A and B are shown apart, each in its own frame.
Chain A
Amino acid sequence: MTYAAKNLTTDGRELIAFRVGAQEFCVNIMSVREIRGWTPATPMPHAPSYVLGVINLRGAVLPIVDLSARLGMTPADPTVRHVIIVAQVKSQVVGLLVDAVSDILTITNDKIQPTPDVVSSEFEKSFARGVLAIEGRMICLIELEAIFPQEEREAA
């Protein structure tokens, strides 16, 4: 499925929530291009462990990132039940392997609570933009550009 881009008002935004392991995360819907099922990826030599490889997305080569591993959790063991969120990160397009997409949330900015200061690593601080309390669940809003700092990758 594809989500058409919408104009967001300054105080309202749409987010896509998904599950990675036992935790829930969400990203701005504007950066999501499409959501598709898992297909086996071609492994890349010398790639970081969280890069599962590349797949063919209608003629383009798309890297697939295991978000679980990227966020420092247990690496995923991809199955047909996993899904790939195709997202735009700056000028590049990447596929994020997640367990499932759970929700599309429409929220206002005041619903976003600051990240609790239990997080220790600089890395976690860099991508966590806050948390949301929705129906008793805790959903962490993450910044994709912080997870994939493009400049560094280009410098490789």
Chain B
Amino acid sequence: MDMNEIKEIFFQECEEQLAELESGLLKLNDGDRDPETVNAVFRAVHSIKGGAGAFGLDDLVSFAHVFETTLDCVRSNRLDPGPEVLKVMLKSADVLADLTNAARDGGSVDEARSRQLIKELEALANGEVPQASAAPVEVVAKPVAAVAAPPVNEEGFQPVAFSFDDFEAAEEPPLMETPTYEIVFRPKSDLYAKGNEATLLLRDLSRLGDMSIHCDMEALPTLDRLSPESAYFFWKIQLATDKGEDAIRAVFEFAEWDCDLEISLASDEAASSDEELPMQPVPFDLSILDDEPAVSVGVVEEEEQLASQQLGNAAVSVAGTASNVLQMAQSAARAPAEKAAPAASAAAQGAAGQQAAASAATPTIRVDLDRVDRLINLVGELVINQAMLSQSVVENDTNGTSSINMGLEELQQLTREIQDSVMAIRAQPVKPVFQRMSRIVREIADMTGKSVRLITEGENTEVDKTVIDKLAEPLTHMIRNAVDHGLETPEKRLAAGKSAEGTVRLTAKHRSGRIVIELADDGAGINREKVRQKAIDNDLIAADANLSDEEIDNLIFHAGFSTADKISDISGRGVGMDVVKRSIQALGGRINISSKPGHGSVFTMSLPLTLAVLDGMVVTVANQTLVVPLTAIVETLQPEASAIHSFGANQRLISIRNSFCPLVDVGRILNFRAIQANPVEGVALLVESEGGGQRALMVDAIQGQRQVVIKSLEANYTHVPGIAAATILGDGRVALILDVDAIVAASRGQSLKPEMSLAAVG
């Protein structure tokens, strides 16, 4: 793995953190005050800052830093995350996302905006809570550099970044006479408790220059009174170095709080003298033991074994003092490693054990989507092949070879399981798309001066990744449309007796093997008179056309339809709801609208969970083979003549358990035959459509049930009303997959052809 790969990981992680950030902020916006939510939000920004710093992404670091500081105020309850505060934070999250994208793709960001938000964030951190009627955004020429400056240490602590560069330079011969420092180093017990080793510090110190060390062990008590983890020694050091006092202090950086340290420049005389300093017992501050009773004698009693080990170490140290203190220090330093050794060998179950520990840490793996897609394609081919094999076995009439049939059955089941498992890999919650929408809502609310609240539900509903990816664009468009056209201005809302804040509700749920996404607004609803007039003006309908409310509402899905009086910058970018409808259809989905004047509109989209396969019933209609999605079928019936009732000119109903259900001849409605088939000679499939309501679809015969691989018709042809997609059957021929809802809608008198007739086909 190289840095570029890690950088790619960083950006992936940023995306996750940004999503986490936004969802956390939205939770806070909904009144959630769980400290863990605040922590998660803080961590998200913190993580981005940390990673960005590692890659030198300074703009990102600066902004994240200011953001983090403000979030820290929230975390420590110094700032209440009220609505106005969250407004700033949500915008900041957007800017952070922009900065991340800019860092990844090299784009630019709205600098005025980020400067403004930095200012607002700083104001928040300084305890200035904005008023609801905050002045419009003003561009403040605050230099970014001021923010980018290294954080100030309130308590005057200056972090000393490790740099051993200085030490390397020390190997060059000193140009001037090297000053000599006298250092008195008295560790406290805490020094050891925190994993520091006096000996290691001395080792590091020795690297600064020529050093002589004297260890004072006066304070060492008799063994019976010895607390194994207390500090009894202190050291007097003479160090000749040209690195300066700061370098010496840097060595003790970690130990600073846990030792007494005196550093002074030795007199020239002493420095030039090579002779050892006479041993000068310095009074050992016994109070250190009183100060640190935490390292208790109790440990000795409870943990005798460990204590004796420690004693052993101490003994080694004592023994070594006589000769070379530094050597002793090194050997003592080695001691902890040796101490750990038996435990290590006991615990070490070889590399396998290590890997187990490592793999426990990573319950998920990341896989390139390409690999998954390749697998899915292969499984798709496997399904077709298996179907072909089954078919040829049947055709070749392998009478009496039940083992082949059993094998085939097992193969089918296995294929099925593989397919389900592969599909599950691609299933993802719709959450990321939903989260993106909240930003769209914020931006558009800002642009239109409307006050909007987005409520999302069911964001953990899972659907195939391709569906999710392709959902973002139409959804963005619909959200824009809902805020721009659907919701009224705050004044109009108040006048209509509504709250000034409009609500847009985005919901996802699973229903009968599909995902249903609803977008509801509590705006003014469709202005039917306007839509109707517009449709007449655009020659979409005749001036005297008699349309139901539903039909009028659905006119907005026609090409080039826009009811806004003026083309706004937001939803009037030349793309209309017809584009939305087409992209939904391309996904094998449907969209419709229901609207209540004064109360708002609801767009309902129904999409397949996967674009790859579906369970279908293979049927024959007018000598053609069709596939009906199994999810749509409630039951199958063999109609009896007595159950069929004529109704009006050419309607027929079938009575099912004392209720009447309209019969729909699929062959007739698809124009496969000129006259209706005789129901008694066929099979009725009782289906339930999206809009509710049952229909009995008449087909000639049922061939069987099969899982089929969905093939797009749109790729090389076009959308065909009444047909959802195509598939390839065991005989290698293409079979069409019925769009049950469209068929049912057509049976209600809506022709299957209006869309076709609107366009100049051929």
Q: Size range of the interface on A?
A: 20 to 34
Interface of A is mostly: mixed
- Give Cα A63–Cα B57 distance, bound, in whole angstroms: 52
Would A44 and B736 count as touching, CB distance under 8 A? yes
Residue numbers in A under 8 Å from B381 (CB-CB): 59
Say yes or no for B44: interface residue by CB 8 A criterion: no
Would A45 and B717 count as touching, CB distance under 8 A? no
Would A156 and B718 count as touching, CB distance under 8 A? yes
Residue numbers in B under 8 Å from A93 (CB-CB): 716
Known: A42-B733, A60-B711, A61-B711. A48 touches B761 (CB 8 A): yes
Say yes or no for A8: interface residue by CB 8 A criterion: no
Say yes or no for A92: interface residue by CB 8 A criterion: yes
> Shortest Cβ distance from A24 into chain B, in angstroms?
23
> Shortest Cβ distance from A37 into chain B, in angstroms?
14
Say yes or no for A55: interface residue by CB 8 A criterion: yes
> Shortest Cβ distance from B526 into chain A, in angstroms?
23
- Give Cα A60–Cα B714 distance, bound, in whole angstroms: 11
Q: Which of B106-114, B148-156, B595-603, B752-760 contacts A (4 or more CB under 8 A)?
A: B752-760
Would A54 and B713 count as touching, CB distance under 8 A? yes
Would A54 and B726 count as touching, CB distance under 8 A? yes
Would A153 and B716 count as touching, CB distance under 8 A? no
Say yes or no for B559: interface residue by CB 8 A criterion: yes
Say yes or no for A62: interface residue by CB 8 A criterion: yes
Would B733 and A154 count as touching, CB distance under 8 A? no
Residue numbers in A under 8 Å from B758 (CB-CB): 155-156
Say yes or no for B543: interface residue by CB 8 A criterion: no
Would A45 and B722 count as touching, CB distance under 8 A? yes
Would A61 and B733 count as touching, CB distance under 8 A? no
Which A residues from 56 to 109 make CB contacts under 8 A with B? 56, 59-63, 92-94
Would A42 and B736 count as touching, CB distance under 8 A? yes
- Give Cα A54–Cα B737 distance, bound, in whole angstroms: 13
- Give Cα A59–Cα B753 distance, bound, in whole angstroms: 28
Would A56 and B728 count as touching, CB distance under 8 A? yes
Say yes or no for B671: interface residue by CB 8 A criterion: yes
Indicate with 1 or 0, residue by residue over A27-64, a CB within 8 angstroms of chain B CB atoms: 00000000000001111111110100111100111110
Residue numbers in A under 8 Å from B582 (CB-CB): 154
Known: A61-B717, A92-B716, A155-B759. A46 touches B753 (CB 8 A): yes
- Give Cα A125–Cα B624 distance, bound, in whole angstroms: 37
Would A43 and B624 count as touching, CB distance under 8 A? yes
Would B717 and A44 count as touching, CB distance under 8 A? yes
Would B720 and A61 count as touching, CB distance under 8 A? no
- Give Cα A137–Cα B559 distance, bound, in whole angstroms: 46
> Shortest Cβ distance from B559 into chain A, in angstroms?
6
Residue numbers in A under 8 Å from B726 (CB-CB): 42, 54, 61
Known: A54-B717, A61-B716, A93-B716. A45 touches B723 (CB 8 A): yes
Closest to B623 in A: A43
Residue numbers in A under 8 Å from B130 (CB-CB): none
Say yes or no for B735: interface residue by CB 8 A criterion: yes
Residue numbers in B under 8 Å from A11 (CB-CB): none
> Shortest Cβ distance from B234 into chain A, in angstroms?
81
State the total of A-B contacts with C-beta under 8 angstroms.
Answer: 93
Say yes or no for B734: interface residue by CB 8 A criterion: yes
- Give Cα A89–Cα B718 distance, bound, in whole angstroms: 13
Known: A44-B736, A45-B671, A59-B711. A154 touches B718 (CB 8 A): yes
Say yes or no for B135: interface residue by CB 8 A criterion: no
Say yes or no for A117: interface residue by CB 8 A criterion: no
Which residue of A55, A152, A156 contacts B734 across the interface (Cβ within 8 Å)? A55
Say yes or no for B732: interface residue by CB 8 A criterion: yes
Known: A45-B723, A47-B720. A61 touches B759 (CB 8 A): no
Would A56 and B734 count as touching, CB distance under 8 A? yes
Say yes or no for B170: interface residue by CB 8 A criterion: no
Indicate with 1 or 0, residue by residue over A103-147, a CB within 8 angstroms of chain B CB atoms: 000000000000000000000000000000000000000000000
Q: In the complex, which of the residues A43, A45, A154 has the most CB atoms of chain B within 10 Å of its own CB atom?
A: A45
> Shortest Cβ distance from A48 into chain B, in angstroms?
4
- Give Cα A41–Cα B712 distance, bound, in whole angstroms: 16
- Give Cα A45–Cα B728 distance, bound, in whole angstroms: 17
Which residue of B670, B671, B722, B734 contacts A42 across the interface (Cβ within 8 Å)? B734
Say yes or no for B719: interface residue by CB 8 A criterion: yes
> Shortest Cβ distance from B669 into chain A, in angstroms?
8
Say yes or no for B490: interface residue by CB 8 A criterion: no
Would B715 and A61 count as touching, CB distance under 8 A? yes
Would A61 and B712 count as touching, CB distance under 8 A? yes
Which residue of A40, A41, A46, A50 contacts B671 across the interface (Cβ within 8 Å)? A46
Indicate with 1 or 0, residue by residue over B604-632, a CB within 8 angstroms of chain A CB atoms: 00000000000000000000110000000
Say yes or no for B762: interface residue by CB 8 A criterion: yes
Say yes or no for B721: interface residue by CB 8 A criterion: yes
Would B755 and A62 count as touching, CB distance under 8 A? no
Would A40 and B733 count as touching, CB distance under 8 A? yes
- Give Cα A136–Cα B733 distance, bound, in whole angstroms: 42
Q: In the complex, which of the residues A43, A153, A156 has the most CB atoms of chain B within 10 Å of its own CB atom?
A: A156
Residue numbers in B under 8 Å from A45 (CB-CB): 670-672, 720-723, 736, 752
> Shortest Cβ distance from B673 into chain A, in angstroms?
11
Would B712 and A156 count as touching, CB distance under 8 A? no
Which B residues from 38 to 65 make CB contacts under 8 A with A? none
Known: A54-B734, A55-B734. A156 touches B711 (CB 8 A): no
Would A46 and B734 count as touching, CB distance under 8 A? no
Residue numbers in A under 8 Å from B384 (CB-CB): 59
Known: A45-B722, A48-B761. A63 touches B716 (CB 8 A): yes
Which residue of B732, B735, B736, B762 contacts A50 across the interface (Cβ within 8 Å)? B762
Closest to A45 in B: B670
Residue numbers in A under 8 Å from B720 (CB-CB): 44-47
Residue numbers in A under 8 Å from B380 (CB-CB): 59
Known: A59-B711, A59-B728. A46 touches B716 (CB 8 A): no
> Shortest Cβ distance from A77 into chain B, in angstroms?
18
> Shortest Cβ distance from A107 into chain B, in angstroms?
29
- Give Cα A153–Cα B715 distance, bound, in whole angstroms: 12
Would B761 and A60 count as touching, CB distance under 8 A? no
- Give Cα A42–Cα B734 distance, bound, in whole angstroms: 6
Residue numbers in A under 8 Å from B719 (CB-CB): 156
Which B residues from 554 to 612 make CB contacts under 8 A with A? 559, 582
- Give Cα A47–Cα B717 distance, bound, in whole angstroms: 10
Residue numbers in A under 8 Å from B759 (CB-CB): 152-153, 155-156
Residue numbers in B under 8 Å from A92 (CB-CB): 715-717
Residue numbers in A under 8 Å from B756 (CB-CB): 46, 156
10 A-B pairs with least C-beta separation:
A45-B670, A156-B759, A155-B759, A42-B734, A63-B717, A48-B762, A61-B726, A92-B716, A153-B718, A54-B734
Can you name 5 A-B pairs with beta carbons within 8 Å?
Answer: A41-B734, A42-B726, A44-B717, A59-B711, A61-B715
Apart from A55-B734, A153-B717, A153-B761, 12 more pairs, CB < 8 Å: A42-B624, A44-B723, A45-B720, A46-B753, A54-B717, A54-B726, A56-B732, A56-B734, A62-B716, A92-B716, A155-B559, A155-B759
